[in-house]
Amino acid sequence: MNVGGIVVEEACVVSDLHLGGQAPFQIFQQGAALAALIDDLRSRAAPGARRAFVINGDFVDFLAESPSLHFDPIGAGTKLRRIAADPAFAMVFQALQRFVRQPGCLLGIVLGNHDIELALPWVRQELQDLLCGADEAASGRIAWALDGQGLLLRIHGPDGPRVLCTHGNEVDGWNVVEHEALRKIGRAGQRDQALDLDYKPNPGSRMVVDVMNAVKRRFPFVDLLKPETEAVIPILGTLDPSLLKKLSDIAEFKVRKAANDARIAAGLLGDDGREALAPQEGAASLLVQPAALKAATAGEKQAAGRQLLDAAEERLQAGHAAIDLVEAAERGVSLGLWSTAVRYATSGGDKVEALRGRLRDLAKDRSFELQDEDETYRGLCERVSPSIDYLVTGHTHLARAITRDFPRSYYFNTGTWARVFRMDPAVLEAPDAFRGVYTALGAGNIAALDRAPGLVPVRPHYAAFWCDAAGGTHGELRQVKDTAPFAFEAVPGTSFSRS
């Protein structure tokens, strides 16, 4: 259905700002650069030539705020005001205030998985008031996409190429959002009814609050170093074996993540967030043969997803060990990570040198390859028509620019504006240099990571879309120089054009 979309002449899309938390644990440090980008786009706006700036999920990070709660419908407004006033983030809010007050500008805000409270009407109103005050015209320049449908833009005209912005967590069983549950909580609040304070958000949010926040306070690199599986877990186990108990607690969340994966496959989560149908005969067989979901009817899929989640919850409540509930293949992965951590924590000899040997495999890692077709790419491409000209996501904190398996259809992931480090492969070949990096990782503060020569910071990215004088539309991935004067430059090999 080739209809709809907000018409703009130019658009910039960013994601995963993660504005939140208090010093020294803030992972966003690009306030001046981001404000410069917003002001640069604003300078080209004019009536009849609208420019859009889209924040494609995880604008703010309520999970990083104190008190740390899985979901905070009552306190989110207070947290939002604190974030906006924090010196590390204030210049971004000030730039957005200037932007929405400029005729010809449009600010798009897409829901992520660290800012789900923005879906609630009173929290959304708080953000609107922070940005617009009493300026009604400015309020009309904000486009909200908080229900999982994404934000659709048209470049240059109502029939122009389409740009669909969606966060990407809808295909991630760890972090998928139950939009229907949020809608009901929002409705209850509007009616002055009791809120469901027992609402349990996605397992990723719960794991962040219950397990990882305490770990990150001691070792901030947990949030910042990529790849997580191959690098972070062995390093943690070597730095502090006592953290192995914390890591083992993740098994319970993996149970719920596996259940969410089944519900996504069944169409219960991610794209529509509908309530499950009543269980149907034959659904139980799908629980033990997930591959059968592909051949099942819609009703069977829905029943299977609901039964899987209910069965997992019932067994957890009955006291079964979480690891016993994980599907066999997934359990093997979990135990493999556990055994890796144990091995490097308890091995004799030089643990640091043993760890360096293990991490040398990172030379083969493809996390930072712009054309790597990761799970988010594959999951969204299965769900989004190739007739969408440009599909833009975030969520993974890893930039991508890929031509889809269809002609003239393209995919961007805009990475993150929060800190991300990759380990310089040369460090892994030099024992003395690696010990310096290891010391920085164990220092327990972000400043030490910033200074470590063997940790390479990843520059922030954004996706740019515009129309030329001949009517052609172009999209490309750009990087931002992180020191003033800020420059915005195209990433080679990421420019895709439509005529």
Q: Which residue has the higher pLDDT, 404 or 267?
A: 404
* pLDDT, position 330: 41
Residue 206 lies in a domain: no
Q: Is there a single domain that holds both residue 19 and residue 165?
A: yes
Structure tokens at 81: 């005001």
Same domain, 166 and 44: yes
- Tell me the whole-structure pTM to 2 decimals: 0.83
Q: Does residue 190 lie within any of the structural domains?
A: no
Q: Residue 189's pLDDT is what?
A: 94
What local confidence, expressed as pLDDT, does residue 271 receive? 55
CA distance 58 to 118: 10
Rounded to whole angstroms, how far apart are CA atoms 365 and 392? 23
pLDDT of residue 135 exceeding 80, the answer is yes
CA distances from 169 to 176, 393, 425 (A): 5, 9, 30
**Band (400; pLDDT cuts 50, 70, 90):** very high
Residues 183-236: tens digit of each pLDDT? 999 999 999 999 887 787 777 787 778 777 888 888 888 878 877 666 777 787
Q: Which of 26-40, 172-186, 245-259, 469-483 has the highest mean pLDDT?
A: 26-40
281 and 377, same domain (yes or no): no
**Same domain for 335 and 391?**
no
Instruction: Give the mean pLDDT of 322-345.
Output: 43
Do 11 and 106 have their domain in common? yes
Question: Rounded distance, CA 364 to CA 362, Å?
Answer: 5
Inform me whether the pLDDT recorded for 446 exceeds 70. Answer: yes
pLDDT value of position 297: 52
Measured CA to CA, the distance from residue 399 to residue 117 in angstroms comes to: 26
Check residue 328 and give its pLDDT: 40
Cβ atoms of 300 and 282 within 8 Å: the answer is yes
In this predicted structure, what is the pLDDT of residue 149? Answer: 95
Nearest alpha-carbon partner for 96 in 55, 64, 154 = 55
* Cβ-Cβ contacts under 8 Å for 345 (sequence gap 6 or more): 237, 238, 241, 244, 351
Q: The CATH number of the domain where 473 resides is what?
A: 3.60.21.10
pLDDT category of residue 473 using cuts at 50, 70 and 90: very high
Q: Where are the alpha helices (DSSP H) in 213-265?
A: 213-218, 221-224, 233-239, 243-248, 250-265
Q: Tally the domains of the chain.
A: 2
Give me the mean pLDDT over the 103-114 stretch: 97
| 322, 349, 376 - which closes a domain | 349
- C-alpha distances (whole Å) from 278 to each of 80, 267, 281, 283 are 39, 14, 10, 10
| 113: nearest Cα among 66, 69, 168 | 168
Residue 418 pLDDT? 95
Residue 425 lies inside a defined structural domain of this protein? no
- The secondary structure of residue 466, as a DSSP letter, is E
pLDDT in tens, 340-374: 444 544 555 678 888 888 788 777 788 899 999 99
* Residue 290 pLDDT greater than 80, yes or no: no
Q: Which pair of structure tokens corresponds to residue 287?
A: 């629980």
Q: Would you state the structure tokens that stand for residue 64, as one six-digit string?
A: 């990083």
Please tell me the predicted confidence (pLDDT) of residue 165. 99
In a domain, residue 111? The reply is: yes
Average pLDDT over every residue of 320-348: 44
Q: How far are the Cα atoms of 237, 279, 375 from residue 361, in angstroms, in the given order?
A: 17, 46, 21
The terminus-to-terminus CA distance of the chain in angstroms comes to 20
C-alpha separations of 114 from 56, 70, 229, 413 in Å: 12, 9, 21, 17
H helix count then E strand count, the chain: 21, 17
pLDDT band of residue 332 (cuts 50, 70, 90) is very low
**Where is the domain boundary, 317, 349, 381?**
349
Least confident of 246-255, 290-299, 398-407, 450-459: 290-299
* Residues paired with residue 489 on neighbouring β-strands, in sequence order: 479
Mean pLDDT of 135-140: 97
Domain span at residue 322 reads 245-349
Amino acid 284: pLDDT: 40
Rounded Cα–Cα distance for residues 36 and 99 (Å): 11
Q: At what angle do helices 431-442 and 351-359 cross, to 10 degrees?
A: 100
b/e map 158-188, b = 16+ CB within 10 Å: eebbbbbbbbbbbbbbbbbbbbbbbeebbee
Cα separations in angstroms, 283 against 66, 231, 257, 289, 296: 42, 39, 20, 10, 9
pLDDT of residue 46: 80
The pLDDT of residue 241 is 74
pLDDT per residue over 153-185, tens digit each? 999 999 999 999 999 999 988 888 999 999 999
User: Residue 8: is it exposed, middle or buried by C-beta count within 10 angstroms (0-12/13-18/19+)?
Assistant: buried
Q: Is residue 205 part of a domain?
A: no
Average pLDDT of the chain?
83
Tokens of 207: 């794991």
- 121 and 250 share a domain? no
Residue-wise pLDDT tens digits, 30-89:
999 999 999 999 999 887 889 999 999 999 999 999 998 889 999 999 999 999 999 999
Q: Residue 291: its pLDDT value, please? A: 47
